[in-house]
Amino acid sequence: MSREQRGPNEKLGAVLALAGISNAGLARRVNDLGAQRGLTLRYDKTSVARWVSKGMVPQGAAPHLIAAAIGQKLGRPVPLHEIGLADADPAPEVGLAFPRDVGQAVRSATELYRLDLAGRRSGAGGIWQSLAGSFAVSAYATPASRWLITPADSSVAREVNHSDGSGAPLKVGHSDVQKLREAAEDARRWDSKYGGGDWRSSMVPECLRVEAAPLLLGAYSDEVGRALFGASAELTRLAGWMAFDTGQQEAAQRYYIQALRLARAAADVPLGGYVLASMSLQATYRGFGDEGVDLAQAALERNRGLATARTMSFFRLVEARAHARAGDAVAAGAALKAAEGWLERSRDGDNDPSWLGFYSYDRFAADAAECYRDLKAPRQVRRFTEQALSKPTEEFVRSHGLRLVVSAVAELESGNLDAACEQGVRAVEVAGRISSARTTEYVKDLLHRLEPYGDEPRVVELRERARPLLMAPA
């Protein structure tokens, strides 16, 4: 359905011309983006003509899908006001700002937390469905550059500006911060074991809204504030990582941007680097290898002489992933060698951050295998995958499933169809025990690669085993 504006929407017409998108082309793009989010849309060139010439405003998620479709073609975010649809059903560009002022940063983060809950209560995908498809890697440019220029705020002390409802000011102490850190630690364990879509993981946005937001809006000294911003940044990054794992790329992007801003307020440069590394992995996963390199190198640049050897190793590993996706074998190899060197220099007594507890040699080997998969070097993939799969997997179930798929791809590219299907069956079994859209996408990719062998009994069996996984609701 649509409602009528006053006169033609000249802004939309001008931006369509700038992007070089026809009416039929825009309709097709909007319908496709909607389908990716479970929406059945039937817009055509006549629908678009009405939006432009008569100023009709489509309802629901459509205005945001229009902005996303045009933004994908232009390679940058397109706000609703630029296309004359700012009066559409509200779903603000929440979470994309990286304010210079600490007070504004608090408002930006807490607004994101509140809107996530609104999305969960509204059903059918909520706020994130309205923002569907609005991921744009260019939105990371300003946050990364501002963090590089100033990775720490001068002071974050906050005067009383909030009440707990009883009239008494909400005074934040170290015990409040500790509760957030414990919540983050619990969430990390659940995420690794059950995937970002597990119901326990979904409690992280709720914790941000109910626990973190009131504390951020409370009163605290500079010392307590730094710790509070750090704990909130960890939780916010986790919310982004879980959204990324479940395929909600637009939500993940907003969480990551706010997590980086909170890390800056915490004056925690390694944590900021970790957020940038998460951004890099997302950009790389989405096919933006060059931008992934930039983000990983931003993490490295500010952490020289600050981060532990293990932390630097992880940052170099993320850089290698991006180089490999960009097709630069020489740079990827150099980054992998540096990552391995840093890891060899690390010691158990080092003051590694708690959030790096997942990173060990088997994780290095797993990512190295993915690098060589992207570089089409199956022999190296097999070598590193064997090392990655050599340890128990009770704690990192999702990671084990991803490694099995990578191993299957390597076997297939080496001409070992039996071994590829065997590993594929194991991967499907693991994927069925967790809630991870990313793992499902890896399985889909394997099945696509097996299509030339579709009549082989082993491939037919694997496809049948994977059917329930592929048909499960997102």
pLDDT score, position 396: 78
| pLDDT for position 284 | 97
Indicate the angle between helix axes 289-303 and 309-325, nearest 10 degrees.
Answer: 160
pLDDT tens sequence for the chain (474 residues)? 455 556 899 999 999 999 999 999 999 998 887 776 556 788 999 999 999 998 888 876 788 789 888 988 887 778 778 888 876 544 457 889 999 999 999 999 999 998 754 444 333 344 545 454 467 898 999 999 999 999 999 999 998 644 444 455 589 999 999 999 999 998 888 877 766 565 445 688 889 988 999 999 999 999 999 999 999 999 999 999 998 988 888 889 999 999 999 999 999 999 999 999 999 999 999 999 999 999 999 999 999 999 999 999 999 999 999 999 999 999 999 999 999 999 999 998 899 999 999 999 999 999 999 999 999 999 999 999 988 888 766 667 888 889 899 999 989 988 999 999 999 999 999 888 887 888 889 999 999 999 999 899 999 999 999 998 887 655
What was the pLDDT predicted at 389?
Answer: 87
359 Ramachandran zone, left/alpha/beta (phi>0; psi -120 to 50):
beta
| Distance in angstroms (rounded) separating the CA atoms of residues 78 and 86 | 11
Enumerate domains of the chain plus CATH numbers: 2-83 (1.10.260), 95-124+137-267 (no CATH), 360-474 (1.25.40)
Residue 317's pLDDT is what? 98
pLDDT at 191: 77
Q: Tens digit of pLDDT for each residue in 198-255?
A: 544 568 888 998 899 999 999 999 999 999 999 999 999 999 999 898 888 888 999 9
158 in helix, strand or coil?
strand
Which candidate, 296, 301, 263, places its Cα nearest to that of 279?
A: 296
Distance, in Å, from the CA atom of 451 to the CA atom of 366, rounded to the nearest integer, reads 25
Q: What is the pLDDT of residue 37?
A: 57
DSSP conformational letter for 167: S
* Helix/strand number for the chain, H first, E second: 22, 2
0.95 exceeded by the pTM?
no
Closest to 247 in 3D by CA, of 471, 39, 437, 33:
437
Question: Tell me, what's the pLDDT at 87?
Answer: 64
Question: What pLDDT is stored for residue 164 in this prediction?
Answer: 47
Distance CA 104, CA 156 (A): 12
Interatomic CA distance for residues 377 and 382, integer angstroms: 9
With 0-12 / 13-18 / 19 or more C-beta atoms within 10 angstroms meaning exposed / middle / buried, residue 25 is: middle
Please state, in angstroms and rounded to a whole number, the distance separating the CA atoms of residues 200 and 308: 31
- 25-37 residue pLDDT tens: 999 998 887 776 5
